[in-house]
Amino acid sequence: MRKKKINAGGLQNQGIEVVFNTDIVKKQDFTWNTNVNFSQMTSRIDKIDGEVTKYSLGGFDDVSIFAEVGRRYGAIYGSKFKRVEDTSSPYFGKLIVDGNGAPQKETGLFYLGNQSPKALFGFTNSFVYKNFGLSFQIDGRIGGEFFSGTQLALQKSGLAKDTAPGGKRDNFVVDGVVAGNNGGFTANTKEITQQNYWEAVTTGNLGITEQNIYDATNIRLRNIQVSYNFPKTMFEKFVIKSAKVAFTANNVWMIYSKAKGIDPESVFAISSNAVGFENLAFPTMRSYLFTITLGF
């Protein structure tokens, strides 16, 4: 059997980008500059090749990332909870539990989200007072989803906060229904332990995928820099004409995130385009830089 890779298909990109830059204050000894940018881009698959409608970008077990015709680039597929699908039922949308009161996994793989952000933004402020400088950048991502294998591993081992609501592991009744022999449903009244519940949710390699799909929206203080320019009068008799020292910190503070301690920028497969999948990724690092700039 022969295989080949071809550059085939159609990807339509639509969006806007707005940049605003201005000096809020500009005086002889003090300057305050602000730069704001906002971008919104939608990448939608028009076609792939021949009769192909979905092309795998990567993934593992039940979690797969696809380029799919008609959807934004990076569609996330996986397993989901078994629920009442009949829209006319008073229990529509409720979990269907088994005889032990535990949730169940629906057969098949289903669309659960998309790895692409809906919008990106950045906000940078720079201050200069005499020879001193201070700048910081706040940026953020709006929308998009990803699967977290790290949260799954924590749930499997009972270390996730979700496995002990309020710091306790009391028995509880899952808000769901039990399927009857006649095709109807009755409200679930069976108590279940936290351990048995999470064993059902995390069954298999990656559990019920839906449980660990997270919104990738986040806002962070990306970097901050403090600098000092030495007066040029210091170098009138030297080869060096100017000097500047600066201290910079990067990835300083996660201001807002819905990912329960996981950095949405963490990805499992750095060699592919499947960035909507994270599995025991190393935490993103904070770095510190001290620089000296000399002018001749």
Amino acid occupying residue 182: N
Burial of 262 (0-12, 13-18, 19+ CB in 10 A): buried
- Count of CA atoms in the C-beta half-sphere (13 A) of 132: 4
pLDDT recorded at residue 269? 55
pLDDT recorded at residue 3? 67
pLDDT recorded at residue 268? 59
The residue segments making up the domain with residue 66 are 10-79+109-151+209-295
Dihedral class, residue 208 (left if φ above 0, else alpha if ψ from -120 to 50, else beta): beta
Burial of 123 (0-12, 13-18, 19+ CB in 10 A): middle
Q: Using an 8 Å Cβ cutoff, are 149 and 278 in contact?
A: yes
121 belongs to a structural domain: yes
132 belongs to a structural domain: yes
Q: What sign has the CA pseudo-torsion 110, 112, 113, 115?
A: negative
Closest to 136 (Cα-Cα) out of 37, 19, 248, 29: 248
276 token code pair: 């909507």
Burial of 17 (0-12, 13-18, 19+ CB in 10 A): exposed
> What are the 10-residue block averages of pLDDT along the chain, 296 residues in total?
69 90 93 96 85 85 90 94 94 95 95 94 96 96 93 94 92 94 89 96 93 95 95 81 93 92 75 79 89 90
215 belongs to a structural domain: yes
Q: Using an 8 Å Cβ cutoff, are 231 and 286 in contact?
A: no
Q: What sign has the CA pseudo-torsion 233, 235, 238, 240?
A: negative
The Cα 91–Cα 187 span in angstroms is 9
pLDDT recorded at residue 281? 81
**pTM, 2 dp:** 0.85
**Across the chain, where does the E strand assignment appear?**
10-26, 30-47, 54-60, 63-68, 75-78, 95-97, 110-114, 119-129, 132-142, 145-148, 172-173, 176-179, 185-187, 191-192, 213-215, 218-229, 242-257, 277-278, 287-295
Q: Mutual orientation of helices 194-201 and 149-156 as an angle, nearest 10°?
A: 140
Q: Using an 8 Å Cβ cutoff, are 75 and 114 in contact?
A: yes
Residue 257's Cα: distance from chain center in Å? 8
**151: enclosing H helix or E strand:** helix 149-156
Q: Using an 8 Å Cβ cutoff, are 292 and 242 in contact?
A: no
Backbone φ and ψ for 187, nearest 5 degrees, come out as -60, 140
Counting DSSP H helices and E strands in the chain, the numbers are 2, 19
Taking the CA atoms of residue 169, residue 170, residue 176 and residue 179 in that order, the dihedral angle to the nearest 10 degrees is 100
Residue 85 CB coordination number (10 Å): 10
5 belongs to a structural domain: no
**Domain total in the chain:** 1
